[in-house]
Structures are given as structure tokens and as C-alpha cells.
Amino acid sequence: MRSSRRARGSATIVDVAAAAGVSPSTVSRAIRGHPDVGEQTRAQVLASADTLRYRPSTLARALASGRSQTIGLLVSDIANPFYPRLAKAVERECRKRHYSLVICNTDDSELESVEYVERLTDQGVEGFIHASVGIDEGPVLEALRDAKRIVFANRRPRSESVSYVVSNNEAGGRQLGEHLVSLGHRRIGFVAGPSWASSVEERRRGLSQALEGCGGQLLVAEGDFAATKAPQAVRALLAAAIRPTAIVGINDRVAGGVYGLLLDLGLHVPGEVALAGFDNIDFGWVQALSLTTVAQRTDTMGRRAVEILLRQLDKPSVRITRQELPMDLLVRGTTDAGQTSSRAEVP
């Protein structure tokens, strides 16, 4: 009963056309909801498509139309809990708009990123959301050829001609710093991330600003986004002539690592050293630690990034969009012992 010579397992548009007694073009229109098709015809076509269990080939469609309805998301490290959160938000928005998403783990390697962009472009991917913080933007933009095909999320582009949506990391850092200062802390240790990441520098600046007013001091030790360098960093911070009374991790993951180290050193948190992080990752231990943190508005970030990208794809003439999202300080037990923590719910 199938028509195509080399079978595909599923009916084609020609099969449906035959069954409905119309031409393939009409089927195509009917299926996509094109207005120029009679009510009778449309009903008939849809019925036939249904009985034949017809499924349009996205491949053929993309090839013929030049639009794949797919975008790519570049992330640094999908094992870093911040990224799945962002990815889910992006995915949700994509679905809503009938787009597909492909997630690319770059491991912060320029080479990998460029390869992804090239390969996916070959596959017809229309545009990208770039949330991989750890690499120079140049090569990726070059591989892309058109700056309108990308939106940066969670990182600020150096280029003037790229849209982005980021958190206001400086303000976030400042809020956290002010919170600590208000608690009496004057020497704060910061286990930073790699210095090439704009968010790291911004958070550092925010913390500094909070300390400036009161003559406090920020001690910075470089680390990474995982917790691998945390031990040296903590050691360095605690070796200072006057110990910091609070330590801030560049993210919650790092803060968690720091916590373990402090425990080992017999230092009570928050009694002897207060502790805080960034990102508010939703993880058993965070609740367990009751970690004070500065949350990013991940959902909004993902949603906006998709909105901006699709708008640019549809209408390349639109202007570049730049957005800064506020961050939310969540005060919990590791900075304020009296604070109601999530643990308090447990009898």
C-alpha cells in the first residue's frame, strides 16, 4: 500500500495526498495550518493523515524550507548544577515555540565549542545560546559568521554587537557583602573562580564595594567552578595574619567544599567562620547545610534568552538586546545561626 520506492516505515506526504485525493502541496498547506485551504479539504486531509499515522519528516522539511526549528545551547559543564537548571528553562521555552533544543557540553574548550557550532550549523541549527563562560568569545562568533544568530546568557560579551541576558553579579555580590558586614564581618575571604569569567570579577567587585564603606577587607584566593582548588584556597585564606571571619564561595558547589574543609579544621560554621555561596542550587546538601546564597533567576534568564534569539532569527534587523537580571540574597543558617533554616522543619 506504500508508495515510495525505498520504504521509510512511515507514510509520506504523497501517500496522504493520494488517500485524500488532493495534491501534495495541499496536504503540506493543510498540515501547517496555511490559511489558503478549504475547510472541507483540510478536514479530509487531516483525517487521511491520521489514519495513515503520517508524521512529517523534519529533515525534509528543514531542507526544503531552510529552517530547522532547532537551536543550540552551549554550556560549560552540564555536571555543574547551575546549567541543568538553565537548560530546563531554555528547553521549556523552546517547546512552547515549537523549537527543538540541542545541548552542548563545551568543557570550556574553545576547540569543542567551535566544532559544535560548525557541526550544528551543518545540521541546520538556526542559532545558539551561549552560556559557556570559560572561553574567549572570538572563535565562536567567527564560526558563526552572523552575530544575530547568537545570544549570550550568564556571560557578558565583549563585542558590542551581541545580545545578552546576565545576572547583575556586581549587585548580587554587594548585597551579600552588605549582609555580612551588617553581621559584623570585616574580613571576608573569597574563593573566586577563574579570572577570565566576567561573573567572577563582578561578584568580587560587589563584595569589595560592600567592604569599602566600613574599612573592611576582601581576601581573594583563586579557585575554579568545581571544588577542586578549594583546599589550597581555604588554606591560603586561613593562613593570613588575621583570619577572615567569613568565607564566600564563587558558587554553592565551592562553598560546599569549603564547608567540609572547615569542619575538618574543627571550625564551627557559622560560629567561627560564616559561609555563603552563589546560585542556590537545589541539592540535598544545600538544605542540609542551610547555606546562605545569592540566587540567580535562572528561569527568567533561559526564557529571555530564547525570546531574544528567536526574535533576532525571525527579523535580523531588530536591535541588539541587553538585559540584566537582579539576584536574590537568601539568608540562611551558615551566616546567621538564629536564622530559620529549611532544617528547622524537621522535628
Partner DNA sequence: GTGAAAGCGCTAACAT
Partner DNA sequence: ATGTTAGCGCTTTCAC
Chain residues binding its own copies by CB under 8 A are: 6, 8-9, 55-60, 62-63, 66, 68, 78-79, 81, 84-85, 87-88, 91, 100, 102-103, 105, 118-119, 121-124, 145, 226-227, 230-231, 234-235, 253-261, 263-265, 282-285, 287-290, 343, 345-347
Which of its own copies, DNA, none binds 173 (CB below 5-8 Å, type-dependent)? none
Site for DNA in 43-82 (CB under 7 A): 54-57, 60-61, 63-67
Which of its own copies, DNA, none binds 22 (CB below 5-8 Å, type-dependent)? DNA
Q: Which is nearer to its own copies, 43 or 263 (CB)?
A: 263
| Sign of the CA dihedral running 195, 197, 203, 206 | positive
CA distance 326 to 32: 40
Give min distance, CB of 310 to its own copies, in A: 18
Give min distance, CB of 306 to DNA, in A: 21
Query: Is the preceding peptide bond at 347 cis, omega within 30 degrees of 0?
Result: no
306 binds DNA (CB under 7 A): no
29 binds DNA (CB under 7 A): yes
Cβ contact 139:171 at 8 Å: no
Give one DSSP letter per residue of 168-222, joined into a string.
-HHHHHHHHHHHHHHTT--EEEEEE--TT-HHHHHHHHHHHHHHHTTT-EEEEEE
Binding DNA (rule: CB under 7 A), the pick from 8, 96, 158, 343 is 8
Which residue in the block uniquely carries the three cell numbers 519528516? 57
CA distance 232 to 263: 15
38 binds DNA (CB under 7 A): yes
Which residue in the block uniquely carries the three cell numbers 529549611? 342
For the record, the C-alpha cell of 282 comes out as: 537545589
CA-to-CA separations, 220 to 161, 187, 246, 249, 307, in angstroms, rounded: 33, 11, 12, 10, 37
Give min distance, CB of 122 to DNA, in A: 8
Give min distance, CB of 23 to DNA, in A: 3
Footprint of DNA (CB under 7 A)? 4-8, 12-14, 21-26, 28-29, 31-32, 36-38, 40-42, 54-57, 60-61, 63-67
